């Protein structure tokens, strides 16, 4: 590391990056924010208060000599390109969801990380919420029994102003659909809890917004364990409802909302307390930064001690495979196996980092 404190550079100081900045501040003497790019307004100023960080262009953040870790918080379509640039500069990477928009790009990031012996952690902050930790333990210990049916529903609302505020949110090519942009965290939770996915079928449509990306998706999932699952996502259901995840096992059943334990029937295992996570049903930033703090704490510990990296590169690639398999199934009407997706549907665009929208 460049000093006794881990130096962090943030590329794309927009709304979600303020969560990172707040989490880093709570880590106290373990980290320091060295540089950032992009962003504007009171939220950014509040998040950066007290940090003597330099405001630079994206490439300058990545190459800054005191930056050990680059946090990629830019629009989804730029994640893979920026992660590769940071790895090529010898920096560890923390990247907001998703790691990439297609499997080929995700695999290129994974290859670069392995070749250089560097860490990549994809933000999956919902895995660190207490109720999800408790559910994962109930699954892994067998307390819930063999999972037979798993569902997740992300029925949120985003108005037209939300899409107008950032053009990438309404385009498929930049990862703006309801599955890739809103549903990704619950989809990641489903895979993390229930294990690898064998195959998927899906349909999607644009039902409530005048835009190119889908705003509603329905998918069925067959896990390699034999369990079945259902995934639904939308941004067209005012006023928006908390996302839920339900696991029905051979011995019990659990349903969780965002920060709420809606049902906990697990023999011999008391229900965990509800968390303090607010719903992002109508406001993307209402979730707070507790999950980011929990993941960053483990990231810093991993870099200090060579302990396992939370949500490492191989794990993140598998979530990208599942996302892309659902899109492929919806677009073709076919049953798609995520494990067979290994080639890119889009190449990383060859463009200057100076042109990246933040």
Give me the CATH number covering residue 147: 3.30.360.10
Mean pLDDT of 246-256: 98
pLDDT tens digits along 14-64: 889 999 999 999 998 899 999 999 988 888 888 888 889 999 999 999 999
- Token pair of 65 as six digits: 């000599």
pLDDT tens digits along 158-170: 999 999 999 999 9
Whether residues 114 and 30 share a domain: the answer is yes
Whether residues 149 and 37 share a domain: the answer is no
- 28-32, 138-142, 189-193, range with the lowest pLDDT: 28-32
Whether residues 159 and 184 share a domain: the answer is yes
Q: What's the number of domains the chain is made of?
A: 2
In a domain, 274, yes or no: no
Is the predicted pLDDT of residue 351 greater than 60, yes or no?
no
In a domain, 323, yes or no: no
The pLDDT score that the predictor gives to residue 285 is: 59
Whether residues 235 and 139 share a domain: the answer is yes
Whether residues 247 and 294 share a domain: the answer is no
Whether residues 42 and 81 share a domain: the answer is yes
Residues whose CB is less than 8 angstroms from the CB of residue 206 and which lie 6 or more positions away in sequence, other chains included? 212, 213, 214, 215, 216
Whether residues 150 and 245 share a domain: the answer is yes
- How far CA 310 is from CA of 62, 162, 292, 299, in Å, comes to 22, 31, 11, 6
Residue 185, domain extent: 127-265
Q: Write down the pTM of the prediction.
A: 0.91
Whether residues 294 and 249 share a domain: the answer is no
pLDDT tens digits along 83-133: 999 999 999 999 999 999 999 999 999 999 999 999 999 999 999 999 999
In a domain, 191, yes or no: yes
- Token pair of 281 as six digits: 């049903």
Cβ burial, residue 312 (10 Å; 0-12/13-18/19+): middle
In a domain, 219, yes or no: yes
Whether residues 18 and 54 share a domain: the answer is yes
In a domain, 38, yes or no: yes
pLDDT tens digits along 260-317: 999 999 999 999 986 555 556 666 656 679 999 999 999 999 999 988 999 999 999 9
Q: pLDDT tier at 1 (50, 70, 90 boundaries)?
A: very low
pLDDT cut 70: percent of the chain above it: 91
Is the predicted pLDDT of residue 347 greater than 70, yes or no?
no
In a domain, 324, yes or no: no
Residues whose CB is less than 8 angstroms from the CB of residue 113 and which lie 6 or more positions away in sequence, other chains included? 87, 93, 119, 120, 313
Whether residues 141 and 241 share a domain: the answer is yes
DSSP state of 165: H
Q: Which of 26, 14, 28 is nearest to 58 (CA)?
A: 14
Question: Which residues does residue 33 pair with via DSSP β-bridges, in sequence order?
Answer: 8
Is the predicted pLDDT of residue 241 greater than 70, yes or no?
yes
Whether residues 188 and 254 share a domain: the answer is yes
The pLDDT score that the predictor gives to residue 350 is: 36
In a domain, 1, yes or no: no
The pLDDT score that the predictor gives to residue 354 is: 35
In a domain, 336, yes or no: no
Maximum pairwise Cα distance, the chain:
57
Residues whose CB is less than 8 angstroms from the CB of residue 296 and which lie 6 or more positions away in sequence, other chains included? 20, 23, 24, 27, 31, 94
CATH code of the domain in which 71 resides = 3.40.50.720
Whether residues 135 and 254 share a domain: the answer is yes
Q: For residues 253 and 171, what is the distance between their CA atoms, to the nearest angstrom?
A: 37
Q: Is 311 left (phi over 0), alpha (psi -120 to 50) or beta?
A: left
Is the predicted pLDDT of residue 346 greater than 50, yes or no?
no
- Token pair of 182 as six digits: 């809103």
The pLDDT score that the predictor gives to residue 2 is: 44
């Amino acid at each position: 590391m460049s000093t006794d404190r881990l130096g962090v550079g943030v590329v794309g100081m927009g709304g979600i990056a303020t969560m990172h900045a707040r989490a880093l501040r709570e880590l106290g003497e373990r980290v320091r924010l060295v540089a950032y790019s992009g962003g504007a307004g009171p939220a950014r100023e509040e998040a950066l208060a007290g940090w003597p960080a330099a405001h630079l262009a994206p490439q300058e953040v990545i190459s800054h000599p005191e930056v050990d870790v680059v946090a990629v918080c830019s629009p989804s379509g730029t994640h893979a390109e920026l992660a590769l640039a940071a790895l090529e500069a010898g920096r560890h990477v923390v990247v907001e969801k998703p790691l990439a928009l297609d499997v080929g790009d995700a695999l290129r990031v994974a290859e670069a990380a392995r070749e250089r012996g560097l860490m990549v952690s994809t933000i999956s902050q919902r895995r660190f919420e207490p109720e999800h930790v408790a559910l994962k333990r109930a699954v892994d210990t067998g307390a819930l029994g063999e999972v037979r049916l798993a569902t997740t529903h992300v029925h949120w609302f985003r108005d037209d102003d939300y899409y107008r505020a950032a053009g990438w949110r309404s385009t498929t090519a930049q990862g703006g659909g309801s599955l890739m942009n809103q549903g990704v965290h619950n989809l990641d939770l489903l895979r993390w809890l229930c294990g690898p996915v064998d195959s998927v079928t899906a349909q999607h449509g644009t039902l409530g917004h005048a835009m190119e990306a889908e705003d509603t998706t329905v998918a069925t999932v067959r896990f390699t364990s034999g369990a079945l699952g259902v995934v639904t996502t939308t941004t067209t259901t005012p006023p928006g409802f908390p996302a839920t995840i339900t696991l029905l096992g051979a011995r019990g059943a659990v349903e969780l909302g965002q920060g709420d334990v809606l049902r906990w029937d697990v023999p011999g295992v008391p229900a965990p307390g509800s968390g303090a996570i607010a719903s992002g049903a109508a406001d993307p930033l209402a979730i707070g930064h507790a999950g980011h703090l929990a993941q960053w704490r483990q990231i810093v510990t991993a870099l200090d001690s060579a302990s396992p990296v939370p949500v490492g590169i191989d794990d993140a690639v598998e979530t990208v495979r599942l996302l892309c398999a659902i899109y492929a199934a919806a677009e073709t009407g076919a049953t798609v196996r995520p494990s067979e997706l290994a080639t890119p549907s889009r190449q990383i665009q060859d463009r200057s980092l100076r042109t990246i929208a933040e």
